[in-house]
Amino acid sequence: MIRTQTLRVFVTVASCGNIRDAAKALRRTDSAISMTLKQLESDLDAPLFETDRKHTLTPLGVEVNKLAQDLLREHDRTIERIIALAEGREGVLRIAAVPSVAAQLLPPVLSAMLVDHPGVQIELLDTDSASVHMLVETGVVELGIGGMPPAGAGLSFIALFNDPFRLVCRKDHPLARLARPLTRHDIRGHRLISNKSTAGYSGFDPDGPERVSALSARNVISLLALVRAGAGATILPALATRSIDEDLCALELHDHLALRTVGFILRRGGISSPICAAFQDRLVSLIRTADISTQSMLPDKDQCQP
């Protein structure tokens, strides 16, 4: 079997035209270079140089030199890419995140990642937490950012922050006139448009868990359009209400359990790739710097006064 290093010795000697200069370039002894060439010619059972002075290639040597140079270039490129992957300078990072995180927190992080890691490709999917869990569990994405997965899902969860729920309605809605956090009694009797962002928490159903909303929407844009059109109010995480229109408001709820915990979702027992670990560190740094918490995530509540 011909080794890559043996071919590198041959190509270097062919380029230098003699063993002495090749030995200096490779930082090896003349005798070691000579023995390597003899072994290569023995393996091929044919000479590669016309004379012992090694300054003229045989016809076979010319062809072997061309092929060896191509192989070594590809070999060196491959090794460089492997090292770049290990150092997080190259690779593909696939992330799934709930829409509010994807829109409000990730843009500056991903922009900075592309500057610092120009060889990296990033794919971002925004969807509800249940779908984020499924995408991570099935290996479609390496990392998820969303709500806590159910027990037994084969996923690990690293909490990042708590995001309180808010009732979103038009400014002319009766609930917008109340200058205090809303109770379940306040919400009772008002039409709510359901969505998947509050999955796992039943405290928002004003008429009990047996009642099902007559109207539901999955996409936040569609959901807010329905609220704007007067179809009803809805419940959204505070982070998702940061950029609502001026004709809408986000009202606080009088329930300390009315929140979702947002965190990293990974396959249990999995090891993050270097680029994924770098992304996680950068997002954690952003959250700490911005002091993301149940209060700092909220939009200006002055906008909720009619």
* pLDDT, tens only, 208-228: 443 446 788 888 889 999 999
How remote is the C-alpha of 164 from its chain's centroid?
24
pLDDT for residue 95 is more than 70? yes
| Identity of the amino acid at 286 | L
Residue 303, Cβ density class (10 Å: 0-12 exposed, 13-18 middle, ≥19 buried): middle
Comparing CA positions, the residue from 119, 120, 144, 121 lying closest to residue 134 is 144
What dihedral do alpha carbons 52, 56, 59, 61 form, nearest 10°? 70
Six-digit token pair at 117? 């890691």
Per CATH, 91-160+261-292 and 162-259 having the same topology is answered yes
Task: Give the DSSP letter of residue 301.
Answer: G
Q: Tell me: the pLDDT tens digits for 246-258? A: 899 999 999 888 8
> In the chain, where are the structural domains located?
4-86, 91-160+261-292, 162-259
pLDDT confidence of residue 119: 85
Share of the chain above pLDDT 70, in %: 90
What fold is seen in the domain 91-160+261-292? Answer: D-Maltodextrin-Binding Protein; domain 2 (3.40.190)
pLDDT for residue 81 is more than 80? no
pTM for the structure as a whole: 0.69
Residue 289, Cβ density class (10 Å: 0-12 exposed, 13-18 middle, ≥19 buried): exposed
What fold is seen in the domain 4-86? Answer: Arc Repressor Mutant, subunit A (1.10.10)
pLDDT confidence of residue 198: 72
Q: Tell me: the pLDDT tens digits for 108-152? A: 999 998 898 888 899 999 998 999 999 999 999 999 999 999 888
What fold is seen in the domain 162-259? Answer: D-Maltodextrin-Binding Protein; domain 2 (3.40.190)
